[in-house]
Every structure is written in C-alpha cells, then in structure tokens.
Amino acid sequence: MTPQTHISDTTWMIVAGLVIPFVLVALTPFLKIAVVLGALRYGLGARHMLSGPVVAGIALIFSLHAVWPMLAEIRARAGEGADAAALATHAQPVALRFLEANTRPPDAEMFRTIAARRASPQNDAPPQADALWTVYAPAFVVSELTRAFQIALLVVLPLIVIDLVVASACLTLGTQLNPATLSLPLKVLVFVLSDAWRLLAEGLLTGYRLGI
C-alpha cells in the first residue's frame, strides 16, 4: 500500500464518519420524531422542560425502537464477526426494502420520474444501489416531513387554542399576569390528563414496516 493510498483511505474514512450520522438522521424515523417533538416544545412554550438534548434523546430512543427489526435482520444476514464491508453489503437490500415500504407512492414516483429524466437512454432501470439513493432515500425524506407536519399540526393546534383562551381571559379580567404563565400549567395538565405521551408515541411509531 502506497502512502497516497493510505491517505486516500483515511480521507474517505473521515468523510464517511462525518456524513453517516446525517444520513442516519434523515433515513430513519428520527427526522419525523424530532420535527414533531420540536413542534410540541414550541406549542407548550416549555423550551426549558424539553431542551434540545432531551428532544434528541427521545427521538433517538423512539427511532431505535422503530428500526430495531431491520438492524436485527442485517445482523442475522451478516453473521457474527462480520466486518464493516459485509454489514454494508447486507444492509443495502434491507434498507431499500424498509424505505420502499415506508415511502408514500406519489413521492417515490416523483423521484423515479426525475431520475429517469437524467438517466442514460441505454439504462432502462436503475441498479438497486442507484434506486436506493436516487429514488427511495429522497422520497422517504419527503414522506417523513409530510407526516411530521401533519402530526405536528394536530399536536400544536389544541395548544394554540388554550393560549388564545387564556390570553382572552386575561384581557377580559384586566390582569397584569403574563398569559404564558397561566397557560403553561394548563397545557401540561391537559397533556397529562389526556395521556398524550402514549398517544403521541403510538402515532409516531405505528405504521413503520420492514417490508417484504
């Protein structure tokens, strides 16, 4: 191995180490969960209760729960003691199947059409690796963002209504108290009484499929 080859391998390892975390964030349920929890933090007005590290930790735990069957299948396919190259080889078809199963068909069709416009006329169908990155990876991101904003809207709207009611009551009574001071405990109370954390977790995690 020449010094140039060693430097090139080291460079690629550094680049991979920097890029892979962002890829895992985008191509797992982490993206949707983090967006919804960020909207919840905004709606509650409790940025100190739900800080950035807390939101990231919750999103990570929920994401591991959703993708654990996929990780278990990759480990079973690769076998004990498999190196990184073997894991990557076995992970590709499993990841493609997961993304395909959890992507909305209109989003996948849109990116498939865009990819076909750029493809060479000699290539009728893109290889599996190309389909993973040119069709299903971006389509999955769009699908997750769409679902995240739909759930966030359902979460935030009731909290905004509570803010408006409290602000209107404070204005009517002529009190000098900050409406946020009164609305925060009221929103937390409603959140607890409705068992909203269980409902939110169920809404975020239900529906993810490993694919066939």
Write out pLDDT tens, residues 111-152. 999 888 877 655 555 555 678 888 999 999 999 999 999 999
Q: What integer is the mean pLDDT of 14-39?
A: 81
Tell me the pLDDT of the chain averaged across its residues: 83
The two structure tokens encoding residue 193: 């009484």
Picking from 147, 137, 135, the residue whose alpha carbon sits closest to that of residue 205 is 147
Q: What integer is the mean pLDDT of 8-13?
A: 61
Provide CB contacts within 8 A for 161, sequence distance 6+: none
The answer on pLDDT for 16 being more than 80 is: no
Model pLDDT, residue 11: 67
Picking from 57, 1, 32, 35, the residue whose alpha carbon sits closest to that of residue 208 is 32
How far apart CA 70 and CA 76 sit, in angstroms, is 10
The answer on pLDDT for 71 being more than 70 is: yes
Q: At what angle do helices 137-173 and 30-44 cross, to 10 degrees?
A: 10
Share of the chain above pLDDT 70, in %: 83
Position 78, amino acid: A
List the chain domain ranges.
3-205
Q: What is the pTM of this model?
A: 0.83
Report which DSSP code applies to 136. I
Model pLDDT, residue 49: 80
How far apart CA 18 and CA 16 sit, in angstroms, is 5
From first CA to last CA, the distance across the chain in angstroms is 42
pLDDT band at 50 (very low <50, low <70, confident <90, very high): confident
Provide CB contacts within 8 A for 31, sequence distance 6+: 25, 141, 144, 145, 148
How far apart CA 28 and CA 47 sit, in angstroms, is 25
Q: Are 35 and 152 in contact (CB under 8 A)?
A: yes
- Tokens 């940025």 belong to which residue? 47
